[in-house]
Amino acid sequence: MSDLHAPVLDWYAEHRRDLPWRGAGASPWSVMVSEFMLQQTPVARVLAPHAAWLARWPTPADLAAAPTGEAVRMWGRLGYPRRALRLHAAATAVVERHGGEVPDAYADLLALPGVGDYTASAIASFAFGRRHVVLDTNVRRVFARAVGGVEFPTTAPTKAERELATELLPPDDATAATWAVATMELGALVCTARSPECGACPIADRCAWLRAGRPAYDGPPRRGQAWQGTDRQCRGRIMAVLRDAEGPVHAADVVAAWPESTQRERCLESLVADGLVARVGDESYALPS
């Protein structure tokens, strides 16, 4: 057992957040929905949509029976609405392949539409208590600092990083599953990207980055999250018009959402290509049916 385990697990037992997709009462479907919603989205923004989603579609079968356009509409302003289409496709596959029950095996989860290595590992670990490496941004930052002695990890996980995470994984399923969520929580609450609270960290006395004097990141430039004037903002404006409408939207209403014609047309075409918007007539658009 690593000497990091006990202090992190003890800290988590005392400081863990009470989130609806955690704990014995959370269904595997609740965990699955949360993992789709939490991709590139902070917890605070996911709480209300997650509750609304589970209230409307409490099982994968309920979602699979709904039109894809309703999934996109319910996704609201969470951003990256293709996740709604992927979650709908995954729910449909769960019904068709697994009798409506979220599978507990990593391979079966990985085979679902829209599910990659991280999401499959997270669902298997958090919903079923299985032993898997779960490497999200928070976990990678904790390991980079505590063990690697650097402020931030590389842009994408490396083989060496995954090997380290595997070495740090406790040997039994239950402890490994708790370790996965505990390191994630530590990165989210204490070992944050911008203002790490090293004085509150349970492994500060073991942290290689802190011992080195917290050297500043000197790797490749880190990408920011630009928004104003971007295609993401334009696409979001168009999607908002369609979500708020009860039926098809005339092209003139889409024009009003974003005045710059070249960018608007490019974004509208990309939304159609992504399956998020459907053409219904020569000059009207709607959410997919």
- Please give the structure tokens belonging to residue 70: 């309703």
Mean pLDDT of 134-149: 96
> Which overall architecture, per CATH, does domain 137-211 show?
Orthogonal Bundle (1.10)
In the predicted model, is pLDDT for residue 14 greater than 70? yes
- 70 in catalytic set: no
In the predicted model, is pLDDT for residue 108 greater than 60? yes
Q: Domain 5-128 adopts which CATH fold? A: Endonuclease III; domain 1 (1.10.340)
Task: Indicate the pTM of the whole model.
Answer: 0.89
Q: Which residues pair with 286 in a beta bridge?
A: 278
Looking at residue 225, its pLDDT comes to 62
For 35-81, write each residue's pLDDT tens digit.
Answer: 999 998 999 999 999 999 999 999 999 999 999 999 999 999 999 99
Say how far apart CA 210 and CA 285 lie, in whole Å. Answer: 54
Looking at residue 224, its pLDDT comes to 64
Q: Domain 231-286 adopts which CATH fold? A: Arc Repressor Mutant, subunit A (1.10.10)
Enumerate the H helices of 111-230 as residue ranges.
117-128, 137-143, 159-168, 173-189, 208-211
For the chain, domain boundaries: 5-128, 137-211, 231-286
Contact between 165 and 172 (Cβ < 8 Å)? no
Among candidate residues 14, 35, 70, 96, the one labeled active-site is 35
In the predicted model, is pLDDT for residue 131 greater than 80? yes
Q: At what angle do helices 82-98 and 28-37 cross, to 10 degrees?
A: 150
Looking at residue 218, its pLDDT comes to 80
Contact between 18 and 28 (Cβ < 8 Å)? no
Strands 284-286 vs 249-250: parallel, antiparallel or unpaired: antiparallel
For 228-240, write each residue's pLDDT tens digit.
Answer: 889 999 999 999 9
Looking at residue 101, its pLDDT comes to 98
For 172-231, write each residue's pLDDT tens digit.
Answer: 999 999 999 999 999 999 999 999 999 999 999 999 999 999 999 887 776 666 778 899
